[in-house]
Amino acid sequence: MRLLMLGGTEFVGRAVVEAALAAGWDVTVFHRGRGEAPSGVRTLHGDRTAPDGLAALAEGEWDVVVDTWSAAPRAVRDAARLLAGRAGRYVYVSSCSVYAWAPPAGYTEDAPLVEGASAGAEQSDYARDKRGGELAVLESFGADRSVLVRSGLILGPYENIGRLPWWLNRMARGGPVLAPGPRDLPLQYVDVRDLAEWIVGAAERGLSGAYNLVAPRGHTTTGGLLDACARATGGRAELRWTDPAAILEAGVEPWTQLPVWVPPGSDLHDALHGADVSRALATGLRARPVEETVADTWSWLLGLGGVAPQRSDRPAVGLDPAVEAKLLGV
């Protein structure tokens, strides 16, 4: 098959390109030239936010387009309009954030969606931008040629948000580590490579519609993830499990200062770690063990000297060492 990847040099886009190449596809990568595309692809340059930024896509035909855009929906609209007559299917990597707040645990693809989104809008907030991107794809490709990949938390090699890299680097420093309880708190995430392989398979089988794309609820736990991080980095860390109430009383922000973790029983936990993914599982989603995700991410991170790339449009994550030491009393 012929893939046009809009992006393709970072995190999700790069993983999709690698999965497509592994499947023997012919791959074209359209990007701004700030990063290096994987070898074996055809490269086109352009900035979709600039006037005439899509000029390099004026010609060509593809079986599938994959787009991960997360800013102004009009950029998705412009690309989809340009390609509607020359591409068979449009896969848009959206987010479970498109559901109206707060989705209850077990929510499916039929849950209510955020209001106020528009296909032609300028950038506003993440949820409406992603929903606007979905609407833009549907506008030009219709429901029968659109795949809306509503991803949850994404981890794995190439991560440029900093969540799993922060935990790995913290474990590598060793010593007492603040471990947010409870240890058996279920987590839900998807390895970026499992996400990419599902996308490739979905395109090959001609799927359409919306899918919550994340591993099953409870695929691992907070303890499972942090234990894997400690082992992968050499076992020098001493996990000190701390009651959620004590963490919150200290003013520590879940999700950002303690990446991945959110307190049990909260709307945030149900939204981030409570999606029903039966539709994705029935259409080929496979979730590799947490140990593999962690070990491979650590190996990739070591190759970069321990410093992961960081998206400029996302805030840095992680807990200040002084705050951690105070909480632990060390």
Check residue 13 and give its pLDDT: 97
2-151 under CATH 3.40.50.300, yes or no: no
Indicate the domain borders of the chain.
2-151, 160-187+219-274+290-328
Q: What is the pLDDT along the chain (330 residues), one digit of tens a residue?
A: 999 999 989 999 999 999 999 999 999 999 998 889 999 999 999 999 999 999 999 999 999 999 999 999 999 999 999 999 999 999 999 999 999 999 999 999 999 999 999 999 999 999 999 999 999 999 999 999 999 999 999 999 999 999 999 999 999 999 999 999 999 999 999 999 999 999 999 999 999 999 999 999 989 999 999 999 999 999 899 999 999 999 999 999 999 999 999 999 999 999 999 999 999 999 999 999 999 999 999 999 999 999 988 888 888 899 999 999 999 998
Q: Residue 280: which H helix or E strand, with range?
A: helix 278-282
- Is 328:176 a contact under the CB 8 Å cutoff? yes
Q: Is 81 exposed, middle or buried (0-12, 13-18, 19+ CB in 10 A)?
A: middle
Query: How far is residue 324's CA from residue 26's CA, in Å, rounded to a whole number?
Result: 49
pTM: 0.97
Check residue 106 and give its pLDDT: 96
Query: How far is residue 170's CA from residue 237's CA, in Å, rounded to a whole number?
Result: 8
Check residue 28 and give its pLDDT: 98
Query: How far is residue 99's CA from residue 2's CA, in Å, rounded to a whole number?
Result: 32
Check residue 311 and give its pLDDT: 85
pLDDT tens sequence across 14-53: 999 999 999 999 999 999 988 899 999 999 999 999 999 9
Check residue 330 and give its pLDDT: 87
Check residue 310 and give its pLDDT: 87
Check residue 80 and give its pLDDT: 98
Burial 227-256 (b: 16+ CB within 10 A, else e): bbbbebbeeebebbebebeebeeeebebbe
Question: What is the CB neighbour count within 10 angstroms for residue 315?
Answer: 9
Query: How far is residue 250's CA from residue 149's CA, in Å, rounded to a whole number?
Result: 37
Q: Residue 263: which H helix or E strand, with range?
A: none
